[in-house]
Amino acid sequence: MASPYQVKFCYALQEYFDTEFWFYVRREKNRPAWWEIPLGDKCKIMKLSGRIPKIGYFSFGLFSELIRFKPDIILLGGFMKWHWLVLKLAKLFKKDTKVVFMSEPLRFVRGDRNTSSSLMTKENSEKKLKIMRRIFGSADLYCGMGPTATKQFIEEIGFPENKVDTLRYPQDIEAYFNHPLREKKKGDKFRILFANRLIDRYQPLFALEVLERVQSEYPNVEMVMNNDGPLKDACVGYIEKKGLKNVRFLDSIDSWNNMHLIYKDSDILILPATYSNGNGSVAEARASGMGIVVSNKINHLERHSVNGENCFICDLSIEDFADAVLTYIRNPEILIPHGLLSREKVEGRRNKYTAEMYYEVFKNHGFVE
């Protein structure tokens, strides 16, 4: 999918490589129309593309692109069956092409709606991991999107350690750094932001329960929520059943480039995820200078989080989350130091630094000089 942050990252990479990004689809059905941004001349949707159950994405137009562009390095997102074919054909078109697989940690679940944080291991997925190791074993590099995936690739799948490295997803956070820090005082109105899609593992109903607790003490606290996801109706039903006030859904965002204004107008991000591989909304909230309350089930929080100093990292308990949100409301003076430290910690997630990271990884493996 031509995610806006991927499209923008393509142009950040131009400093180091003649880069093109080829996508299977313009936008997934579960993403809003405002996710579509201009692709420019370096990004494209491949022709003759689609998706087949149990196979995943495919594109017959990919072959003509390989012949035209003759890439030195091909990055493939995910261990899909189609990508096995791409791996084999890429080497036929150009023998010295380096093929790199990138993937999040592989979860031991049936479908994305599963809330489990369990990952595939030799114990629970031995046969499947052996097949993966065999069919993808001729790749030149395997990049885990974060250290959790990297560790899994080596210890569970068994890819050679000298062919495994770590990369990270790009973040489109430049505009967020321009937001004013949250200068609040006791008695001011606070706005809580639930920025993630309304799906099971992000727990929007949990967030509404937290709001209910908070509003029992501070009735004027507001919450704004993502408008998309299969739990939208359940959230509406809960709001109506409990008579919650000051809750609205983000149904009026007009463009990706204006999405950051939702963060600018909010004070505290809440994310009670049961699993996330380092969530983008947390980085966005940090760059914006918000207060942050998140679960301890999110990978790689340690990179930019100091519990109690720029965020609150909680067990998945309504009481713990409500107490953390109330700590910000009762002590609004901590928002500014929290925001300052968050911005310092997340500075390295700007696209120019992520592009440099990609270059250094490929240089270390001898793919570029």
* Shared-domain flag, residues 180 and 328: yes
Supply the pLDDT for residue 336. Answer: 98
Please give the mean pLDDT across all residues of the chain. 95
User: Are residue 182 and residue 213 in the same domain, yes or no?
Assistant: yes
Neighbours of 154 (CB within 10 A): 17
User: Does residue 245 share a domain with residue 257?
Assistant: yes
Position 327 scores a pLDDT of: 98
pLDDT at position 113, please? Answer: 63
* pLDDT average, residue stretch 19-30: 93
Do residues 156 and 233 both lie within one domain?
no
In sequence order, what are the residues at sequence separation of 6 or more whose Cβ sits closer than 8 angstroms to the Cβ of residue 317? none
| Co-location of 132 and 259 in the same domain | no
pLDDT at residue 112 tops 80: no
Confidence of residue 107 (pLDDT cuts 50, 70, 90): very high
- pLDDT for 111 equals 66
Q: State which residues form the domain around 35.
A: 4-171+350-364
Alpha-carbon distance 271 to 218, whole Å? Answer: 20
Residue 369, in any domain of the structure: no
In a domain, 98, yes or no: yes
Two tokens at 360? 């250094």
What is the rounded distance in angstroms from the CA atom of residue 191 to the CA atom of residue 208? 13
Q: Residue 311 pLDDT > 90, yes or no?
A: yes
Asked whether residue 213 is domain-assigned, the answer is yes
In this structure, are 163 and 205 located in the same domain? no
Cβ atoms within 10 Å of 199's Cβ, excluding its own: 18
Residue 155 and residue 61 share a domain: yes
Across the range 9-34, mean pLDDT stands at: 94
pLDDT at 114 over 80: no
Question: Would you say residue 199 lies in a domain?
Answer: yes
Residue 213: pLDDT band with limits 50, 70, 90: very high
Measure the CA–CA gap between 76 and 87, rounded to whole angstroms: 9
Q: Give pLDDT tens digits for 336-349.
A: 999 999 999 999 99
User: Residue 208 maps to which CATH number?
Assistant: 3.40.50.2000
How many domains, in total, are found in the chain?
2
Q: Does a structural domain hold residue 344?
A: yes
Residues 128 and 196 in one domain: no
| Closest-CA residue to 299 (of 201, 208, 224) | 201
Q: Are residues 187 and 302 in the same domain?
A: yes
Q: By mean pLDDT, which of 17-26, 83-92, 243-252 is the weakest?
A: 83-92
Same domain, 149 and 249: no
Helix axes 81-93, 61-69, angle to 10 degrees: 30
Q: Name the band, by pLDDT with cuts 50, 70 and 90, for residue 278.
A: confident
Whether 227 is in a domain gets the answer yes
Higher-scoring residue by pLDDT: 248, 94:
248
pTM over 0.85: yes
Residues 38 and 108 in one domain: yes
* pLDDT beyond 80 at 205: yes
3-state secondary structure string across the chain = CCCHHHHHHHHHHHHCCCCCEEECCCCCCCCCHHHCCCCCCCEEECCCEEEECCCEEEECHHHHHHHHHCCCEEEEECCCHHHHHHHHHHHHHCCCCEEEEEECCCECCCCCCCCCCCECCHHHHHHHHHHHHHHCCCCCEEEEECHHHHHHHHHHHCCCHHHEEEECCCCCCHHHHHCCCCCCCCCCCCEEEECCCCCHHHCHHHHHHHHHHHHHHCCCCEEEECCCCCCHHHHHHHHHHHCCCCEEECCCCCCHHHCHHHHHCCCEEEECCCCECCCHHHHHHHHHCCEEEEECCECCHHHCCCECCCEEEECCCHHHHHHHHHHHHHCHHHHHHHHHHHHHHHHHHCHHHHHHHHHHHHHHCCCCC
Q: Which of 1 and 37 is assigned the larger pLDDT?
A: 37
Picking from 71-85, 87-101, 216-230, which range would have the lowest pLDDT averaged per residue? 87-101
Does a structural domain hold residue 56?
Answer: yes
233 and 356 share one domain: no
Q: Is residue 287 part of a domain?
A: yes
pLDDT score for 369: 83
